[in-house]
Chain A
Amino acid sequence: MKVEDVPQDLKFTEGTPVRHPIYAVDSEGKYQMVNCVGWEAKNEAIQWQLDAVQEECDEVLERIKKGESTLLEYYAVKNLMTVELLAHYADIPKRKVRKHMSDPEAFANLDEKTLSAYAEALRMTVEELKTFPEK
């Protein structure tokens, strides 16, 4: 790839210090490092994955309305967390995590300590964890 061909498709890295340094050849065939802010192809792949996650979230919302699921599952799916990982990061047994995810009553009766453990693992506040997502 030539230095002038390095794509600069800014999308996700805006406002962060993260860049993608890449090596490219200049007009004399010498390699140089160029800072790249993003590439269309990759942004598309990320967007595709995020859309797929969003679709899954919508399914969970449907189930919440039927009373078969809880907001904890919604935010776990949204933050790409599986039961195993969430159980580890929040330091709560898997069996309980599954229960809190599927039983609205169990989730509603959670104490502050458990909630804050979940919230921290999911990088959000307790308030956010309790609020229904806006559409």
Chain B
Amino acid sequence: MELQLQHKPAAHCENGTISNLLRYYGVEVSEPMAFGLSSGLFFVHFPFVKAGGMPMTAFRTFPGLLFKRITKLFGIKSEMRRFLSKDRAMKKLDEVLLGQKTPVGCVVGIYYLPYYPIEYRVHFNGHNICIVGKDEETGVYSVLDPVTIEKVTLSTKDLKKVRFTKGTYPLMGQMYWIKQMPEVIPDLKPLILKAIKKNCKHMAFQPKFIPFAGTNGIIYLSKKIRTWEKTMGRKKALLNLAQIIRMLEETGTGGAGFRYVYGAFLQEAAEKTGLDFMNNYSAEMTQIGDKWREFSYQSSKMLKKRKDEGLTFDDLGDMLEKLGETERDFFRRLYVDIDRCSE
């Protein structure tokens, strides 16, 4: 049995999955739109939460939150479940998928995903896939993975494994699906304005005593990065830097990629709401994304060079601090402008 759902690649796994799920019900929400509506842009640097022995840096909200936000905005009835028993988790999946003929979103860890290149397989528990079918004789599931170019398959054994990975943020077979769509899809304009305002608040208006989140977090990281070489030695510092580059560029396209997605969202929002000034913000966002890319490029250069050549950690700190200030300024201005026209 396989549900009729066409595969579409996406830059961010969770949005891609949300957009896939909604498409099944005939609601065309593009990936940037899903990202913007669920206020997905975020930054967080936790020095005390370790992922693979290194401080965690993330450019996204927690897995699962985006789906909750977007269903709330649209008034969609949905369900999200976690399980203690592996067998129950698989049974429930079959029940929803085969019994109710509903595509299911699953949060999985990428370490055991068989179609990933072996070098990419790290212990990262926050990848989202959409399960659309099961071959009942062989037990092979068909899966829409947003980062692949085509439909892929997973055996029951593999799926069970990836749904219950351990480590930082252990997964408990987390799955989500749509139960009932609202009769009328609400007008997008107020939702867009609301979502942008929420995102601005998350990024630029975090209280000062929480230095880890939003643009505060970027500036916090810029301060931390300067001390790395002294506190943990060059080798460890470079390892940490490599981890940040990976987070920036890999897991769900990370930092710069998300800035571009948000830029694309602002552009689409300008079209949908008729507020032309958002196009300017979109162009500005593109530039911010370019700067993030420049940051990862320069950092990767540093890995190869010897100590006294090229950039230092202080230079990287400067770059990050500037980025943090630019973003803070950007979101504050955007908030004021949106606030003015939403009254």
Contacts and interface: CB of A to CB of B under 8 A. Distances in A.
B150 A48 contact: no
Given A21-B9, A41-B245, A16 B115 contact: yes
B249 A42 contact: yes
A44 B264 contact: no
Interface residues of A, number: 38
A45 B303 contact: yes
B117 A12 contact: yes
Nearest to B248: A42
Interface string B229-247: 0000001001100110110
B167 to A, nearest CB: 6
B166 A42 contact: no
B122 A80 contact: yes
Secondary structure type dominating chain B contacts? helix
A10 B263 CA distance: 26
Interface string A57-94: 00000000000000000000000101011001100000
A93 to B, nearest CB: 15
B150 A1 contact: no
B187 to A, nearest CB: 23
Interface stretch (B56-64, B71-79, B253-261): B253-261
A24 interface: yes
B115 A40 contact: no
Contact of B263 (A21, A31, A50, A88): A31
Contacts of A21: 9-11, 146-147, 253
A71 to B, nearest CB: 19
Contacts of B147: 18-21
Interface string B288-313: 01100100110110011000000000
A72 to B, nearest CB: 18
A22 B115 contact: no
A44 B300 contact: yes
